[in-house]
Amino acid sequence: MKKISFLFAVMITTVVSAQWSPTGTSLTSNIFRSGSVGVGYTTTPSFGTNKFLVNGNSYFSGNLGIGTTTPSEKVDINGNITAKQALFFNSAPNGTNYATWADRFRASIALTAGTKLFDQGVPYGVFSIYDFPDNPSDAYTPNPTVFLNVSDRAAKTRLRFYAEQGDETGFRINGKNSDVVFRIFDSGNDNDVYLDMPKSNSRVVIAGWGDYLPQHKLVVRGSSMIEGNILTDSNIGIGTSNFTDGTDSYRLSVNGAVRANRVRVYTDWADYVFEKDYYLPTLEEVENHINEKGHLIDIPSASEVEEKGIELGEMNKLLLQKIEELTLYIITLNKEVEQLKEQIKK
């Protein structure tokens, strides 16, 4: 019985002491234990069970598994982590000329998290940060540059931010095929900053949602205000989304009053009245037309104006036409009056 007890005690001591390795010892196999593990201790450290502690410069070349017996990385944890601070980085020496983009990608990754994805065989996460070193031979990023990428699980980059030291800054949102749908870019020249929405169906809605009148490029709702220049090759509606009137279409459509200091209209003019071949109606014809139609020749009636409105340029031209016709009538009457005066004198 004493022999059995002694043998059992030796076995327990051997198993427990095997969880500690002496200082400087290299562990070349994987570590996966449900009990306590101490590395770098010559004697059993005084901490409870289910602990892991490293002392001094002890090291191991295998994988460490916590909560798993099949660690696939240097540290493989199946569970939560609590820490005050963590620093994740990879070696990225400045000035190195990489043989391939994948080599630089691999060397410059600083942090990756989420589902493991691959680009040219290099693993990364759906959320990744890169610190590209200075590489003068690379025309794309010749200066040290920080990248932040968010990809979907199909390895398509959906969001990217980058800042090149002393130079460009960029932010972009990509579509499902990694094509740019929104970009803010600063070239680093302080006066070259722009926003891009390159898709042909892009639109901006202020004080509303993007599905409001999707056929329009810029929509401002409510009491929102716009100041500055608006340049568009499409139409602008204020208080209305209708740009057609009969067979006519209009670039600017306003449902409401318009106030302005000046309005310039480009149109043809009525100087043709003074041409020799212009037919000037007789006053008798004008009188008959008024009696029959109730308005001047070539001038729209009141009912037509109420129904269809008027074209400012065209209406001004017609009014000038009548003024010029009146001028001709007056000139003719004046000549007749002068002739009568001469006859009276005689």
Q: What is the mean pLDDT of each run of 10 residues along the chain (346 residues)?
A: 38 39 51 56 58 60 79 83 79 66 80 86 88 76 88 94 93 96 91 90 84 76 75 84 88 92 90 93 94 94 90 92 94 92 87
Domain boundary at 196, 212, 236, which? 196
**CA-CA distances (angstroms) from residue 123 to 179, 240, 301?**
22, 53, 78
The reply to whether 113 and 184 lie within a common domain is yes
Spatial contact of 209 and 203, defined as CB atoms under 8 Å apart = no
226 in a structural domain: no
Structure tokens at 195: 């926003």
Q: Please check whether residue 111 lies inside any domain of the structure.
A: yes
Q: Residue 1: inside a domain, yes or no?
A: no
Instruction: Please check whether residues 70 and 118 belong to one and the same domain.
Output: no
Residue 299 within a domain? yes
- pLDDT at res. 1: 45
Q: Is the same domain home to 69 and 108? A: no
* pLDDT reported for residue 31: 55
At residue 160, the pLDDT reads 96
pLDDT attached to residue 14: 36
Residue 48 pLDDT: 57
Domain that holds residue 127: 101-196
In a domain, 224, yes or no: no
Structure tokens given for 125 = 């996460």
How many DSSP H helices and E strands does the chain contain?
5, 23
Same structural domain, 112 and 67:
no
Note whether 190 and 150 are same-domain residues.
yes
- One-letter amino acid at 203 equals R
HSE, CB side, 13 Å, CA atoms: give it for residue 338.
6
Is this prediction's pTM over 0.95? Answer: no
State how far the Cα of 314 lies from the Cα of 302, in Å rounded to an integer.
16
Residues sharing a CB contact under 8 Å with residue 1, sequence separation 6 or more, in sequence order: none
What is the number of domains present in the chain? 3
Are both 156 and 119 inside the same structural domain?
A: yes
Is the same domain home to 187 and 146? Answer: yes
* 59: phi then psi, degrees, rounded to nearest 5: -150, 165
Residue 212 lies in a domain: no
Amino acid identity, position 85: Q
**105 and 191 housed in the same domain:** yes
User: 21 by DSSP, 3-state: which?
Assistant: strand
Note whether residue 206 is domain-resident: no
DSSP for 30-73, please give it: -EE-SS-EEES-SS--S--SS-EEE-TT-EESS-EEES-SS--S
| Alpha-carbon distance values, 222 to 47, 173, 282 (Å) | 67, 28, 55
Same domain, 181 and 114: yes
**Do 123 and 48 belong together in one domain?**
no
pLDDT of residue 177: 93
52 and 130 share a domain?
no
Do the domain assignments include residue 6?
no
Q: Are residues 336 and 284 in the same domain?
A: yes
